[in-house]
């Protein structure tokens, strides 16, 4: 790995590790509960009840902003990791069937994948939202449906690499790193999608508090007078996405160039990979 890659991995691992640690222990560090009500729009550093301090002030409903960010961090972490696992549970069987040797099953699964390539994610989400409501399972089903093309391309590349490229143990380890890079990028993408939908008011709600997108949407009207109310959840979300992408970019250097050229996240993968089969 080059010096540049090591720097990316180190910075990404530190940012992501600190973020995950704060998300796990954040509720115990929060000055007050996520739904505790005080005076609205208090400036940062204002003393709170029972000797606590509102280090980031309060929002327009009187809720401590720091406590809200800490509680939302754990909810977003658990929610999106669970969503990623559900996406693999939903999507991998179809992707494996589409690239399998049983022709009838492969044709049926490939037809589903072809439909997924043609339908935008937001259209699928709105359709399922009207039928089943805002739930994590709904989001996971939509994301799994939208991820079917990439999962299918990834399964195709994995079968090709397993049979042709690197049968030795170091080569298998590089394939595992490639899968880890893909998972990190998917986690960043799914988190961004969920929080963007939350900002629009149609995203999933991970109890006991809403995610960062909901918090930013509620605070946007106070941006110029009380910027910390909006900037705090934006900074937390930005650090999470930054850590995930830096770590994935650094680890990608450990992947052989023969596999990088078949990375399903890169444009033109399908045509290039399938033309060599």
Complete domains list, the chain, with CATH: 3-34+56-275 (1.10.3720)
Question: What pLDDT, on a 0 to 100 scale, did the predictor assign at position 266?
Answer: 43
pLDDT bin (cut points 50, 70, 90) of residue 16 is: very high
Token pair belonging to 158: 């994995």
- Per the CB < 8 A criterion, the answer to whether 204 and 138 are in contact is yes
> Distance from first CA to last CA of the chain, Å, rounded?
29
User: How far is it, in rounded angstroms, from Cα 32 to Cα 21?
Assistant: 19
Share of the chain above pLDDT 90, in %: 16
Question: 41: left (phi > 0), else alpha (psi -120 to 50), else beta?
Answer: left
The residue assigned the tokens 């595992």 is 176
Average the pLDDT over 75-98 and give the result: 87
Least confident of 2-6, 107-111, 240-244, 264-268: 264-268
Q: Is the pLDDT of residue 135 over 70?
A: no
Mean pLDDT of the chain: 79
Q: Which helix (H) or strand (E) holds 194?
A: helix 169-200
Question: What pLDDT, on a 0 to 100 scale, did the predictor assign at position 205?
Answer: 62
CA distances from 23 to 67, 70, 134, 237, 248 (A): 11, 6, 23, 12, 20
pLDDT bin (cut points 50, 70, 90) of residue 254 is: confident
Q: Which residue has the higher pLDDT, 15 or 202?
A: 15
User: How far is it, in rounded angstroms, from Cα 1 to Cα 254?
Assistant: 6
Instruction: List 64's β-bridge partners, or say none.
Output: 58
pLDDT bin (cut points 50, 70, 90) of residue 24 is: very high
Phi, psi of 126 (to 5 degrees): -65, -40
Question: 255: left (phi > 0), else alpha (psi -120 to 50), else beta?
Answer: beta
Q: Which residue has the higher pLDDT, 15 or 103?
A: 15
- Per the CB < 8 A criterion, the answer to whether 80 and 131 are in contact is no
Question: What pLDDT, on a 0 to 100 scale, did the predictor assign at position 166?
Answer: 47
Give the other-Cβ count within 10 Å of 245's Cβ: 19
**Strand ranges for the chain from DSSP E:** 46-47, 53-54
Q: Where are the alpha helices (DSSP H) in 61-120?
A: 65-98, 103-118
pLDDT bin (cut points 50, 70, 90) of residue 19 is: very high
């Amino acid at each position: 790995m080059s010096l540049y890659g090591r720097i990316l991995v180190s910075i990404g691992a530190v940012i992501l590790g600190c973020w995950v640690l704060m998300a796990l222990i954040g509720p115990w560090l929060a000055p007050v509960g996520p739904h505790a009500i005080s005076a609205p729009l208090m400036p940062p550093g204002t003393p709170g009840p029972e000797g606590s301090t509102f280090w980031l002030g309060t929002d327009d409903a009187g809720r401590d902003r720091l406590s809200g960010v800490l509680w939302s961090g754990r909810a977003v972490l658990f929610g999106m990791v669970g969503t990623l696992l559900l996406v693999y549970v939903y999507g991998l069987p179809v992707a494996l069937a589409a690239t399998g040797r049983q022709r009838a099953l492969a044709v049926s699964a490939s037809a589903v994948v072809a439909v997924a390539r043609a339908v935008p994610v937001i259209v699928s989400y709105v359709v399922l939202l009207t039928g089943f409501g805002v739930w994590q399972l709904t989001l996971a089903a939509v994301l799994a449906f939208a991820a079917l093309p990439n999962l299918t391309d990834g399964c195709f590349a994995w079968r090709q690499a397993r049979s042709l490229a690197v049968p030795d143990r170091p080569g298998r380890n590089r394939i595992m790193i490639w899968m880890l890079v893909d998972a990190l990028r998917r986690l960043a993408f799914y988190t961004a999608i969920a929080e963007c939908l939350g900002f629009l008011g149609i995203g999933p709600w991970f109890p006991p508090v809403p995610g960062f997108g909901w918090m930013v949407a509620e605070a946007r009207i106070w941006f110029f007078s009380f910027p910390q109310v909006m900037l705090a959840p934006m900074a937390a979300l930005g650090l999470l996405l930054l850590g995930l992408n830096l770590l994935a970019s650094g680890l990608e250097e450990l992947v052989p160039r023969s596999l990088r050229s078949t990375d399903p996240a890169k444009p033109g993968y399908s045509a290039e990979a399938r033309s060599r089969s």
